[in-house]
């Protein structure tokens, strides 16, 4: 499989007022250590190095992979790091990525209530100096918003998980993770949304395999270090993507400003066989940008590759969703997304 390397080495400033560069990364990847993935930590890390990423978490189930033990080519670009992590994997399908921990985090919980198990994971991760990301709530539809809302100290969740068994978009009986996110935000929770691969399979690239390259984050940070990337994400300085790149995403002079990096997006969608689309029966080809507020209400919708929206304090939060729709040759349409983080007007992030 030949895949054009897309480099995000060229940092693009989110806004003139924003310091830092953009760094692309994946927070969720598995290795043969777990027994149900097919590649070594070295091979998995090298895939992300070779495909233009700037950081990766080898988030193994209840196993800490020390980045110092991972071998990468000596002659390699230097703007690629491993952030130490683990997928804290508890009972009842409750999993959380432990981001930037200093060693193995325990996963046991004496509790049976889901929110308490999640809370135990969050506390253990924070006790290990890390930041928690609640993973794939719609895997087996294990987690509801009622299970998340009581949890303290949780500020990131997976909105998009690239694993084939995860129902990011819900079904007739279960809400999508995006609807869940709006429920949590509308209830006053401070929670940012992550897209990740949850990759397991590297040796066979196919639509039904859990391959890399399906979901990622692009983080604005002063520096490329585990600490600075983790801190930036914990403060919502990133966007999540299932195929799109943005050249602007942030508040400038009181407006939420968004612009698609169309060249990088088209290159990614044209070159990659790993990105995974949402298939929809109807749609208009092109880009649309929606600004979304309390209860998930669409406040404004624009066609095209750039838009802005005033942050005037009338909404507790405003987030942005960018959709790219293209005709699928066989039937219907494919959609890919980028999700900008909420901007809060009620001070919950202060």
The one segment of 82-90, 149-157, 207-215, 341-349 that binds Zn ion by CB under 5 A = 82-90
Give the span between the Cα atoms of 256 and 342, in whole angstroms. Answer: 10
**Site track 42-81 with Zn ion (rule: CB under 5 A), x = hit:** ----------------------------------------
List, as one string, the DSSP characters of 69-128.
Answer: G----SSS-SS-EEPPEEEEE-STT-EEEEES-SSPPP---S--SHHHHHHHHHHHHHHT
> Site size for Zn ion, by CB under 5 A?
4
- Closer of 135 and 265 to Zn ion (Cβ): 135
* Binding region for Zn ion (CB under 5 A) out of 68-76, 90-98, 224-232, 313-321: 90-98
Nearer to Zn ion, 31 or 241 (CB): 31
> Residue 198, interface with Zn ion (CB under 5 A)?
yes
140 Rama class: left (phi>0) / alpha (psi -120 to 50) / beta: left
CA pair distance 158, 136, nearest whole angstrom: 6
To the nearest whole angstrom, how small is the minimum distance from the Cβ of residue 235 to Zn ion?
A: 24
Do 335 and 290 form a contact (C-beta atoms < 8 A)? no
Q: Is position 86 an interface residue for Zn ion (rule: CB under 5 A)?
A: no
Taking the C-alpha atoms of residue 47 and residue 5, their distance in angstroms, rounded to an integer, is: 10
Sign of the four-CA dihedral 107, 162, 284, 257: positive
- 322 contacts: CB under 8 Å, gap ≥ 6: 244, 246, 258, 260, 287, 288, 289, 290, 337, 338, 339, 340
Mask of contacts with Zn ion, 122-141, x by CB under 5 A?
-------------x------
Using the minimum distance from each CB to Zn ion, give the nearer residue, 85 or 226.
85
Determine if 95 is a binding residue for Zn ion (CB under 5 A): yes
Q: Is 200 in the site for Zn ion (CB under 5 A)?
A: no
> 292 in helix, strand or coil?
strand
CB of 257 to Zn ion, least distance (A): 34
Each residue 150-189 as x (binds Zn ion by CB under 5 A) or -, in order, gives ----------------------------------------
Applying CB under 5 A, the residues found at the interface with Zn ion are 87, 95, 135, 198
């Amino acid at each position: 499989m030949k895949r054009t390397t897309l480099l995000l080495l060229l940092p693009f400033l989110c806004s003139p007022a924003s310091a830092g560069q953009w760094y692309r990364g994946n927070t969720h990847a598995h290795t043969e250590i777990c027994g149900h993935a097919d590649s070594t930590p070295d091979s998995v890390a090298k895939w992300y190095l070779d495909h233009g990423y700037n950081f990766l978490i080898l988030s193994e189930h209840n196993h800490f992979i020390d980045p110092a033990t991972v071998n990468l080519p000596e002659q390699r670009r230097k703007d690629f790091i491993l952030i130490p992590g683990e997928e804290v994997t508890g009972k009842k399908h409750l999993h959380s990525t432990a981001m930037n921990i200093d060693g193995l985090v325990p996963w046991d919980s004496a509790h049976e209530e889901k929110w308490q198990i999640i809370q135990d994971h969050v506390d253990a991760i924070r006790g290990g100096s890390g930041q928690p990301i609640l993973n794939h709530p719609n895997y087996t539809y294990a987690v509801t918003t009622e299970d998340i809302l009581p949890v303290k100290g949780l500020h990131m969740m997976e909105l998009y998980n690239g694993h084939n068994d995860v129902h990011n978009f819900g079904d007739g009986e279960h809400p999508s993770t995006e609807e869940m996110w709006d429920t949590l935000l509308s209830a006053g929770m401070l929670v940012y949304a992550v897209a990740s691969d949850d990759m397991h399979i590297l040796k066979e690239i196919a639509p039904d395999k859990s391959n890399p390259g399906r979901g990622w984050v692009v983080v604005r940070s002063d520096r490329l270090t585990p600490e600075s990337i983790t801190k930036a994400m914990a403060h919502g300085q990133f966007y999540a993507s299932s195929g799109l790149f943005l050249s602007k995403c942030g508040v400038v002079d009181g407006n939420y400003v968004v612009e698609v990096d169309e060249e990088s997006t088209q290159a990614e969608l044209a070159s990659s066989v790993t990105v995974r689309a949402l298939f929809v029966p109807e749609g208009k080809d092109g880009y649309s940008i929606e600004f979304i507020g309390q209860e998930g209400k669409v406040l404004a919708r624009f066609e095209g590759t750039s838009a802005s929206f005033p942050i005037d304090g009338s909404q507790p939060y405003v987030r942005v969703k960018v959709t790219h729709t293209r005709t699928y040759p066989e039937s219907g349409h494919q959609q890919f997304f980028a999700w900008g983080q909420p901007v809060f007007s009620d001070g919950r992030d202060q």
